[in-house]
Structure 1
Amino acid sequence: MNAEEIALYLKTHPEFFEQHGDLLTQIRIPDPHGGAAISLAERQVTLLRDKARVLESKLAELIGYGEENDVIAEKVHRLAMALLGVDSLAGAVHVLNTHLSGSFAVPHVAVRIWGVGGGLDGEGVPNEFLPVSDTLKALAGSLHRPYCGSANGQEAAALFGEQGGHVRSLAQIPLREDGVEGGACFGVLVLASEEVERFYPDMGVMFLTRIGDLAASTLLRVVD
């Protein structure tokens, strides 16, 4: 019999070691950690301990992610509470800038709005209503989720003026009516950073989406 046949036999006949239990202590095999030869039973205990260490490591990692998400969720909650108290466009933009640049440590924040808030034309138009290109409008409207990635080739980087030349990554969050994918897009919230990996394509966007929903709901309330 070859090794494969022996292994198959032992798998299909688990009663073998019940009938020959003494073999578990008599057969000696190399210690995987470089020690003296150990019995099969000791080797199984070692394997179980190794598996337990891996599971403990994964559990610790999951707990770490959970704690991190709890912290972010609390920040989003505080942002939501602050937005509930605003009654003007200036107030809403101030809250967004304060929380996103403070609690979330986002160095650059920009909001652009179109198609709502009639009567804001003429001199003294807020920056949030400054014209944007049809290309940027179309891109924002086509997003099914926030765009996260390189700022290279992204027209939204120009919203930050001279600082836009130093931006390396950004998140573009569409602002939609009713906060749903099918709602009409009336603006965009852009977060940007000089760090290449601050906003990357594979990052989770659940909290960014919620921030976009909060911003959209508030902005619609204060500009209509």
Structure 2
Amino acid sequence: MSERAREDRADGAEDERQVAIYLIANPDFLVRHPEVLAVIDVPHRLPPGVCSLVEYQVQRLRRQLTAERKRLAHLIARAREYEAFVNRLHALTLKLLAIDQSEQLCHLLRETLMRTFRADAILLKLFPCQRPNTTISDPLAVSFRDFIDRRRALCGPLNGKQAQTLFGEAGSVIQSAAIIPLQTDEHWGVIAIGNTDPECFSPEMDTEIFDRLGELLSQKLRSLPFGQCEGHV
């Protein structure tokens, strides 16, 4: 053992001795600081493989504490993410109020949706409202007619056929999407936001932000059509 190692070992032993002296002089330390018990091991000198009830309870509380900490961290992260989306949606609303040209609308949606949702592909499409006794011929319109009636956004993974129906050639790499319905007085349609990550848009996602986005754009489209913005972006 080197001289440095012996010195470190001696210093460690002295630190332990000082801790022991302090605990002996302050026997109520763990009573005043119960949080220490959650992170230290307290042996009970039982036979190997045998756990005292106190030790079992401490271990269980530690596991619960760890799980709660992870859950809290997850909730905080989701809350921050939601707050960021709300702020971006508010910023988009303000910009939409000032737009009066289809080209501006197209540019704004492309830039905002790609940045906000880290999209790899976007579809913007409107269809005329179906008249009585008419047949829908557009494959995309046929695929999403039932979806439009539900008036709620839908998130989840896509198979190859669904992805190509939505995104054309770009659909070959798209694994998940958020599909948002649009509804005006004379048109209905969809905004589809695609991502190559199959877990980016999951069925468990809260769709409130997407629903609000759909309502906001539907209202804007009552006075300003998509025009050149339709199709794959």
TM-score bracket for the superposition, by shorter chain length: 0.5 to 0.7
Question: Secondary structure at the residue paired with 2:83?
Answer: helix
Match of 1:115 in 2: 128
Is the CA contact (8 Å cut-off) linking 2:163 and 2:172 kept in structure 1? no
Equivalent of 2:94, from 81, 104, 107?
Answer: 81
Identity of aligned residues (%): 27
Does residue 156 of structure 2 align to residue 149 of structure 1? yes
Does residue 193 of structure 2 align to residue 187 of structure 1? no
The one-letter amino acid of 1:132's match is: D
Does residue 40 of structure 2 align to residue 37 of structure 1? no
Equivalent of 2:168, from 161, 186, 191?
Answer: 161
Q: 1:51 to 1:88 in 2, by over 3 A?
A: same
The one-letter amino acid of 2:71's match is: K
Cα deviation, residue 155, structure 1:
4.4
Match of 1:67 in 2: 80
**Higher deviation after alignment, 210-219 or 60-69:** 60-69
Match of 1:135 in 2: 142
Is the CA contact (8 Å cut-off) linking 2:184 and 2:221 kept in structure 1? no
The one-letter amino acid of 1:69's match is: Y
- Alpha-carbon distance in structure 2 between the residues aligned to 1:42 and 1:168: 47
Q: 1:144 to 1:55 in 2, by over 3 A?
A: same
TM-score, structure 1 as length reference: 0.63
- Alpha-carbon distance in structure 1 between the residues aligned to 2:190 and 2:167: 13
The number of residue pairs the alignment matches comes to 175
Cα deviation, residue 111, structure 1:
0.8
- Alpha-carbon distance in structure 2 between the residues aligned to 1:44 and 1:168: 45
Match of 2:4 in 1: none
Cα deviation, residue 167, structure 1:
1.6
* Structure 2 unmatched ranges of 5 or more: 1-37, 46-51, 130-136, 227-233
- Alpha-carbon distance in structure 2 between the residues aligned to 1:197 and 1:74: 24
**Higher deviation after alignment, 54-63 or 184-193:** 54-63
**Higher deviation after alignment, 34-43 or 212-221:** 34-43
Is the CA contact (8 Å cut-off) linking 2:119 and 2:194 kept in structure 1? yes
Superposition RMSD in Å: 3.5
Question: Secondary structure at the residue paired with 1:222?
Answer: coil
- Structure 1 outlier segments of 4+, above 6 Å: 38-50
The one-letter amino acid of 2:123's match is: A
- Alpha-carbon distance in structure 1 between the residues aligned to 2:202 and 2:184: 26
The Cα offsets for residues 78-107 of structure 1, whole Å up to 9 and x where unpaired, read as: 222222221122222211111011232112
Is the CA contact (8 Å cut-off) linking 1:140 and 1:172 kept in structure 2? no
**Higher deviation after alignment, 106-115 or 56-65:** 56-65
* Structure 1 unmatched ranges of 5 or more: 1-30, 117-130, 179-183
- Alpha-carbon distance in structure 2 between the residues aligned to 1:100 and 1:162: 20
Cα deviation, residue 187, structure 1:
0.9
- Alpha-carbon distance in structure 1 between the residues aligned to 2:175 and 2:72: 34
Match of 1:201 in 2: 203
